[in-house]
A and B are shown apart, each in its own frame.
Chain A
Amino acid sequence: MTATTSTSAAPATPAPLVDATRDDASLRRFLLGLPGVDQVGVEQRAAGLGTRSIKKDAKRWAIDTAISMVDLTTLEGADTRGKVRALAAKAVRPDPERQDTPRVAAVCVYPDMVATAVEALKGSGVHVASVATGFPAGRTSREIKLADTKIAVEAGAHEVDMVIDRGAFLEGRYMDVFEEIRAIKAACGDAHLKVILETGELATYDNVRRASWLALLAGGDFIKTSTGKVSPAATLPVTHIMLQAVHDWHVQTGELRGVKPAGGIRTTKDAIKYLVAVHEVAGEPWLTPDLFRFGASSLLNDLLLQRRTQVDGHYSGPDYVTVD
């Protein structure tokens, strides 16, 4: 079994790191050779950065930037076309009474809802993202995951959010995880691939770092914390580690890859803390929806309320934003 036969369409690993993925043993050596993460240290740094002062102009800028980074998400068994259309409308015009409100980055749905979302968002510039690959557990065969991906891409998804096989990762079968990501990336065609690590199930910060590098090596365009179905979902320290990984990746390869925390980010205050981390850990170039996203369903309304508060000078209340 080699890495190249089944995944010829996926991009090549950048030259400085090509040796890392030569075979099972070298991949293992590479991942286990990454510097460890000190839990106390990373949590302290995350807490420290959470105290930067973001007010007035800085806050207005941060709120608009955060809105433009939202992947507005509905991932329920009860999703209907009506619900997806409503969400799409909100994605394009988050605040109907404030036309200068930026639109969100994408609408994120299950594969069977992609066609509906694409239709509803046609010409709006809002992307359609789809969780393919047996979301959220991913406990199905490679064939079904690839088929899931193809369904989403053929229906017009611009972005695919895949879940990694946490079981294989925790068993130490890194090459299996690597090849699966490569295969899905190849199946994505032009669509961007976001690799969900489900950091809550990886349990340790060392694992988060290894999984981040594994996903980057395999060609993931984004690394994403969580499905939102497992607790804990996104946390600031975990996001710090992932931001550090894309920063280090850039230093080594010159490539820019993105990060997407998802699940549990509900308030503007939290979102702004994440933006500070993006700014200071990864760096200024990552302050764009091309390289940073929020996976969220309820965050947007709080951002809109806070935006109104900043613009109007008073708080308007939850009845002044739409419920979708």
Chain B
Amino acid sequence: MPVFEYAPAPESRAIANLKDAYKPFVNGEFVDGSGEPLKTINPATEEVLAEVGTASKSDVDIAVKAARKAFTGVWSKMPGTERAKYLFRIARLIQERSRELAVLESLDNGKPIKESRDSDVPTAAAHFFYHAGWADKLDYAGYGPSPRPLGVAGQIIPWNFPLLMLAWKIAPALATGNTVVLKPAETTPLTALVFAEICQQAELPPGVVNILPGAGDIGASIVEHGDIDKIAFTGSTEVGKAIQRQVAGTPKKLTLELGGKAANIVFEDAPLDQAVEGIVNGIFFNQGHVCCAGSRLLVQESIAEEVLEKLRYRVSTLRIGDPLDKNTDIGAINSAEQLAKIRGLVEAGDAEGAQRWTSPCPVPDRGFFFAPTVFANVHQSMRIAREEIFGPVLSVLTFRTPDEAVAKANNTPYGLSAGIWTEKGSRILWMANQLRAGVVWANTFNRFDPTAPFGGYQESGFGREGGRTGLEAYLNV
């Protein structure tokens, strides 16, 4: 029997125009930050990609001053039609430099090129296009005759979708007339700094966008800075809670987009083969580094065996490896630290008696990789059913009735997303009303669009990003 070997099709890393060193971006210029430089590595090879200058507390102050000056002097006074021009220009520049951004993102983050190329970068551009359209229509957005921007927004984004999360934060802030100081994640600062180049190319007025690489202490300095009007954070629930404590009692507005443990609910009348695709996409997209990942599969008991069998077969066809190869379905885990966390939780699953199955796919020897893993016989009382694993690990639970599905799906401190798989339209509507989750997908999973608001319940945070609702978070209404 011949074996169908696909030809390796790696993108050239030269497309990324990788430089040896990157610097913080303040007041329209790349500046020497006074923090300790950090080295960002390629998680697929563990090689150092570049040295990145970081900010210190004093740099945060300089950046906030620049943002304040840009806000009062230029940006908030500018007519919406003019702001829209800049946003459209940024959107087009992201498209023009999309290959460079996609390759750089895959190098720095470890995600497969087909995802950075087909999902992250185009969706980032789409957010700028969408919000550009709002910039001159805010008076008609339903918030009253003349909604005002808040001022300077401090934004802190995670490492799982570095460029896309930047777009989710910066596009609505700029469209509504705010200026920003943004901190990208410590392990994935590169595309944010190329985005800073794009701001220069777009001739964005100095100070409107400031980007400060650094670790958690810089994030904390942004949060506690007295002249910031709004904090937007996407990241872990733990850090989100700390931020909320810090902001409490100040006039700062806050939105938090935190962790999740989403239920992907499959009924016995579901389109099973597509449900299996949706389960795979729900948990293995971006190596499971997705806050709204469908990490808890709730499958009706009557079809549990069949679904598991189909799922294992499908998962065994996923290809793990070089993120720059377009045949790669699953790339690298972003950091050694994250890999250790995943391993720890998987061991907990074993210890608690869940039945572990790991894909037999070959895994590279070098770099941070974790083979796709499915736990069967998982119960609500196990850690792997309750804690966010943030990796390619699926926990499979069963239910008997729609009510039980709702009860189990809602039995979590989180509430970011959920999926429903059934051919019965009335059940979809009934379930969607019962589920405490910010996004409920029906017969699909992990679909994103700038027009659809995204955000959580409970420990998944509050506030919405995207859509008309998302604008509200950056407006005085």
Determine whether A317 belongs to the interface, using a CB cutoff of 8 Å to chain B.
no
A154 at the interface (CB under 8 A from B): no
> B270 at interface (Cβ–Cβ under 8 A)?
yes
Q: Which of B4, B271, B326, B327 is within 8 Å of A275, CB to CB?
A: B4
| Also in contact, A53 and B273, with CB within 8 A (given A36-B423, A40-B444) | no
CB nearest to B4 among chain A residues = A279
Q: Is B274 an interface residue (CB 8 A)?
A: yes
Query: Across the interface, do A244 and B273 meet the contact criterion of CB distance under 8 Å?
Result: yes
> Which of B1, B6, B9, B327 has the most chain A CB within a 10 Å cutoff?
B6
Contacts of A266 on B, CB cut-off 8 Å?
Answer: none
Question: Cβ of B2 and Cβ of A61 under 8 Å apart?
Answer: yes
B277 contact from A44, A55, A59, A62, Cβ within 8 A: A44
Given contacts A53-B327, A251-B309, contact A37 B7 (CB under 8 A): no
Please tell me if A314 contacts chain B, counting CB pairs below 8 Å.
Answer: no
- Given contact pairs A51-B114, A280-B317, A38 touches B271 in the complex (Cβ within 8 A): yes
* C-alpha gap A304/B6 in the complex (Å): 21
Complex contact B9–A41 (CB within 8 A):
no
Q: How far is the CA of A59 from the CA of B326 in the complex (A)?
A: 16
- Are B272 and A55 in contact, with the CB atoms below 8 A? no
**Residue pair B277, A53 in contact (C-beta under 8 Å):** no
- What sequence of 0s and 1s flags, for each residue 130-148 of chain A, a beta carbon within 8 Å of any chain B beta carbon? 0000000000000000000
The B interface is mostly helix, strand or loop, or mixed, namely: loop
Which residue of B has the minimal Cβ distance to A35? B272
Complex contact A58–B272 (CB within 8 A):
no
Query: Is A79 positioned at the interface, with any CB of B under 8 Å from its CB?
Result: no
**B317 cross-chain contacts in A, Cβ below 8 A:** 280
Encode A12-37 as 1/0 by CB contact (under 8 A) with B.
00000000000000000000000111
Chain B contacts with A in 419-458, Cβ cutoff 8 A = 423, 443-444
Chain B CB within 8 A of A189 CB: no
Could you tell me if B3 and A284 are in contact, using CB atoms closer than 8 angstroms?
A: yes
* A54 interface contact, C-beta 8 A: yes
Chain B residues closer than 8 Å to A45, beta-carbon distance:
274, 277
Whether the Cβ atoms of B273 and A42 lie closer than 8 Å is yes
Q: Does A285 contact B (CB under 8 A)?
A: yes
- The listed residue (B3, B309, B327) touching A52 by CB distance below 8 A is B327
With A61-B2, A65-B2 as contacts: A56 and B7 at CB distance below 8 Å: yes
Greatest chain B CB density within 10 A among A53, A275, A279, A280 is at A53
CB of A41 within 8 A of CB of B443, answer yes
How far is it, in angstroms, between the C-alpha of A44 and the C-alpha of B326 when the chains are bound?
17
* B277–A41 CB distance below 8 A: yes
Does B235 sit within 8 A of A, measured CB to CB? no
Is A312 part of the contact surface with B, judged by Cβ < 8 Å?
no
Question: Smallest distance from the beta carbon of B423 to chain A beta carbons, Å?
Answer: 5
How many Å from the CB of A267 to the closest CB on chain B? 18
**Is A35 within 8 A of B7, CB to CB?**
no
B271-A58 in contact (CB<8A): no
Interface flag for A57 (CB, 8 Å): yes
A287 on the B face (CB < 8 A): yes
The verdict on B5 contacting chain A, using a C-beta distance below 8 Å, is yes
**Residue A41 contacts which of B1, B2, B278 (CB distance < 8 angstroms)?**
B278
Q: B274 and A37: CB pair below 8 A? A: yes
Write out the residue numbers on chain A whose beta carbons fall within 8 Å of the beta carbon of B7.
53-59
- Contact between A41 and B8 (Cβ–Cβ < 8 Å)? no
> B443–A40 contact, CB under 8 A?
yes
**A284–B2 alpha-carbon span in the complex (Å):** 8
Name the residue among B3, B4, B443, B444 with the largest chain A CB count within 10 angstroms. Answer: B4
How many residues on the A side are at the interface (Cβ–Cβ under 8 A)? Answer: 34
Interchain nearest-CB distance for B276 vs A (Å)? 9
Contact between A285 and B1, CB atoms less than 8 A apart: yes
Interface string of A254-289 (1 = CB under 8 A from B): 000000000000000000000110011001110110
Interface centre among B272, B274, B309, B423 (most CB of A within 10 A): B274
CB atoms of B271 and A35 under 8 A apart: yes
Cα distance A62–B2 when bound, in Å?
10
In the complex, what residues of B have CB within 8 A of residue A61's CB?
A: 2, 4-5
Q: Are B326 and A38 in contact (CB under 8 A)?
A: no
Interface string of B257-276 (1 = CB under 8 A from A): 00000000000011111110
**B2-31: which have CB < 8 Å to A?**
2-9
Contacts of B8 in A (CB 8 A): 53
A54 to B3, CA, bound (A): 13
User: What is the CB-to-nearest-CB distance from B223 to chain A, in angstroms, rounded to a whole number?
Assistant: 40
Taking CB atoms, residues of chain B closer than 8 Å to A36 are 269-271, 423
Instruction: Give Cα A44 to B1, complex, Å.
Output: 29
A135 → chain B closest CB, angstroms: 31
Chain A contacts for B309, CB-based, 8 A: 251
- CB–CB A38/B2 < 8 A: no
B32 to chain A, nearest CB (A): 42
Indicate if the CB atoms of A41 and B271 lie closer than 8 Å: yes
Which residues B231-286 have CB closer than 8 A to chain A? 269-275, 277-278
Task: Tell me whether B2 and A287 are in contact (CB under 8 A).
Answer: yes
Known: A53-B326, A275-B4. A38 touches B443 (CB 8 A): yes
| Partner among A56, A241, A251, A287 whose Cβ is within 8 Å of the Cβ of B1 | A287
Question: Would you call A37 and B4 a contact (CB within 8 A)?
Answer: no
- Least CB distance from A159 to B in Å reads 22
**A41-B444 contact, Cβ under 8 Å, with A36-B271, A53-B9:** yes
Q: Which residue of B lies closest to A283 (CB)?
A: B313
CB distance from B296 to the nearest CB of A (A): 20
Q: Which residue of B lies closest to A53 (CB)?
A: B9
CA–CA, A283 and B316, complex, Å: 11
Choose among A35, A251, A280, A285 the residue with the greatest number of B CB atoms under 10 Å from its CB.
Answer: A35
Cα–Cα, bound, A65→B2 (Å): 9
**C-alpha gap A53/B114 in the complex (Å):** 12
Tell me the nearest residue of chain A to B114, going by C-beta.
Answer: A51
Contact string, B64-79, partner A, CB cutoff 8 A, digits 1/0? 0000000000000000
Q: Which of A75-111 contact B (CB under 8 A)?
A: none
Whole-angstrom distance between the alpha carbons of A137 and B465 in the complex?
Answer: 55
What are 19 residue pairs bridging A and B, where the CB atoms are less than 8 Å apart in the complex? Answer: A35-B271, A37-B273, A38-B274, A40-B443, A40-B444, A41-B444, A42-B274, A51-B326, A52-B327, A53-B7, A53-B325, A53-B327, A54-B6, A55-B9, A57-B5, A58-B5, A58-B6, A241-B273, A288-B1
Not counting A41-B443, A51-B114, A56-B7, a sample of 4 additional A-B residue pairs whose C-beta atoms are within 8 angstroms of each other reads A53-B7, A251-B309, A276-B4, A287-B4
A residues touching B (Cβ–Cβ < 8 Å)?
35-38, 40-42, 44-45, 51-59, 61-62, 65, 241, 244, 247, 251, 275-276, 279-280, 283-285, 287-288
The 5 A-B pairs at the shortest CB distance, nearest first, are namely A41-B274, A53-B9, A38-B274, A55-B7, A35-B272
